[in-house]
Amino acid sequence: MLPAFTSLRHFSTTTMRRAASEFRMTVPWGEVRGQVWGPSNGRPVLCLHGWADNCGTFSTLIPLLPKDWRFVAIDFPGHGLSSHRPDGCLYTFPLYVADVRRVVEALQWKQFSIIGHSMGGNVAGIFSALYPEMVDAVVLLDSYGYLPTQMTEMFKNMRKGINDQIHYDNKMDERKERVYTYDKAKERLKAANPSLSDQSADILLERAVREVEGGFVFSRDFRINLKNIVNNNMEQCLHMLSLVKARVMLLLAKDGLFKTFTLPNGYDDLIQKSWVDQKATILNIEGDHHIHLNKPESVASIITDFLQSHRKSVTDETENQSSKL
């Protein structure tokens, strides 16, 4: 059954944003929410946000992309307006990949493109390896598509994640949501994400907080902060990368994630080389981790040209095959 698209919303900020309809999809534990732009018969593009963000991260970029494409940007479970996972459950990358599979099944998309930012790029990478026939092109925004972990750290992370989850569950009855004024909530969001502009913070807060008596509380699930217990080492990441059939472009911000978050020695070069071997396009661009939200005009034409060139190459190949028949 197709999800309902309801609650047409119109936004007006200093940067003009297109109207988006609300995406709502029932899942066994509640709802996956998001936003939709463009005609129902337009080219399908799935947009996946980064850790602790929400689908609002694409609200300034999508209006600069082709109007006749169909964009669906979701809030991952535990983020934005989507339901939290059931009590006792952990947040892991395989489950996020399963969430994407549920969404495209409901949308009845057989083949589509993905734009993924940060964590959303890593989910896109894994999904594209598991379902290569479904993904025709991928844009990775300040993401390598995979985040290799040293073997020695993998099981430390697993132990810590399990212990953290159990500790959280045991203290659940004692937990109280902290109530903020809007300004204090915004201050906290910007402290955790120094790359956000003032306007970008306001955009994310549209889905990141909900109003309660006395102020606002953050809507995201605290458990997304717990250590991810499912990691992949470099060998596993490179194997997944080799399974991807889609055309891929990496847009790496010069002052982005990998300036502050360092991978083990040599990992950056190895994974970039592997993408080059896969004929991926890698561009280093001026900007910070949230460049697509803060300054979308700096990446919009690059993304459009890449995805349009993909569509043209597919059309040319189809015409060449037809001419041989």
DSSP 98: H
Q: Which residue in the list 59, 82, 118, 128 is annotated as catalytic? A: 118
Q: Is the dihedral of CA 20, 24, 25, 27 positive or negative?
A: positive
The residues, any chain, with a CB within 8 Å of residue 262's CB and separated by 6 or more, are none
Is 12 assigned a catalytic role?
no
Distance in angstroms (rounded) separating the CA atoms of residues 205 and 313: 39
DSSP 109: -
Distance in angstroms (rounded) separating the CA atoms of residues 79 and 221: 7
Distance in angstroms (rounded) separating the CA atoms of residues 168 and 170: 5
Nearest residue to 104 via CA among 207, 21, 25, 4: 25
* Lookup result for tokens 């080219």: 43
Q: What residue type is 247 in one-letter code?
A: R
Q: What is the DSSP string of 19-57?
A: -EEEEEEEETTEEEEEEEES-TTSEEEEEEPPTT--GGG
| Side-chain half-sphere exposure of 30, counting CA atoms within 13 A | 15
Q: What is the DSSP string of 289-317?
A: TTHHHHSGGGTHHHHHHHHHHHHHHHHHH
Distance in angstroms (rounded) separating the CA atoms of residues 319 and 323: 6
Distance in angstroms (rounded) separating the CA atoms of residues 149 and 154: 6
| Side-chain half-sphere exposure of 187, counting CA atoms within 13 A | 5
Active-site residue list: 118
